[in-house]
């Protein structure tokens, strides 16, 4: 048992609240344990210059942590500068979401995703991906309802979760205290077809074996399948 009473293969309680803000075509507040992230999706009727004339769309993402999201105040980004961790995470979010779509069905437009961490207790990047997909889904439904696009470009659902080795035991969905002491730390992005989009694994204190990797992926699959069920429930999909 862990300090919050969870078993090793148990994720944190998840809450997905849709339509959280007024103006975005898709907006979600996602809570996973003590972590809370606001994810919005807004439509821009342009594409990056390198895609003009290709008759397909684009998904891009930005990620940020609010100053009060951590125990000690996090400085805001200034003068257009984004810290390297945030750049890495927003690229991961963008890749993860683009992998779920047929971009040719989106038309020459961009859906811009913003993920703002309101409170951080581990797993902010994984919660961002999971919540952002629901916001993206709602934005695409808005395009369909307005008959701006005629076909749904979504090929699959996607969610993400962390796994790791804590006190020599594989565990699912690490909170901050577990993550900061983990022997191995891993983030997994996977679809509802049980296909992997990204696996980020690091031996923080020692290398890990193939047998341990398989245990991590088994846990991640279980956790992500549960998160995708949460997404579909929030969207009213059976």
Cβ 107 vs Cβ 150: under 8 Å: no
Host H or E run for residue 97: helix 84-98
| 123 carries a ligand binding annotation | yes
Q: Residue 18: which of 7, 9, 30 has the closest Cα?
A: 30
Compute CA 77 distance to the chain's CA centroid, rounded to the nearest angstrom. 21
Tokens representing residue 51 in the block: 């895609």
Note whether 229 and 198 are within 8 A (CB): no
Cα four-point dihedral sign 65, 188, 17, 137: positive
70 is in an annotated binding site: no
- Tell me if 56 is assigned to a ligand binding site: no
What is the DSSP track for 139-198?
Answer: HHHHHHHTTS-SS--B---EEEEEEEEETTEEEES--HHHHHH-SEEEEEEEETTS-EEE
- Under 8 Å between Cβ of 60 and 51: no
223 among annotated binding-site residues: no
Q: Which residues are annotated as a binding site?
A: 85, 123-125
Binding residues for phosphate: 85, 123-125
């Amino acid at each position: 048992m862990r300090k919050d009473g969870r078993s090793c293969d148990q994720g944190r309680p998840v809450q997905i609240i849709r339509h959280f803000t007024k103006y975005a075509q898709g907006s979600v507040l996602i809570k996973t344990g003590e972590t809370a992230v606001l994810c919005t999706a807004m439509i821009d009727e342009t594409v990056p210059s390198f895609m003009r004339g290709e008759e397909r769309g684009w998904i891009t993402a930005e990620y940020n942590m609010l100053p009060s999201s951590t125990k000690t105040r996090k400085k805001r980004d200034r003068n257009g500068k984004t810290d390297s961790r945030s750049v890495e995470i927003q690229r991961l979010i963008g890749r993860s979401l683009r992998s779920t779509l047929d971009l040719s069905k989106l038309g020459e437009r961009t859906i811009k995703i913003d993920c703002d961490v309101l409170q951080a207790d581990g797993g902010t990047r994984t919660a961002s991906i999971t919540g952002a997909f629901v916001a993206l889904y709602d934005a695409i439904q808005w395009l369909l309802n307005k008959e701006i696009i005629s076909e749904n470009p979504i090929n699959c659902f996607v969610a993400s979760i962390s796994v790791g080795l804590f006190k020599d035991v594989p565990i699912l969905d690490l909170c901050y205290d577990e993550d900061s002491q983990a022997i191995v730390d891993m983030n997994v992005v996977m679809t509802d077809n049980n296909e992997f989009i990204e696996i980020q694994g690091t031996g923080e204190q020692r290398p890990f074996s193939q047998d341990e990797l398989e245990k991590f992926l088994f846990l991640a699959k279980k956790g992500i399948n549960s998160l995708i069920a949460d997404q579909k429930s929030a969207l009213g999909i059976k």
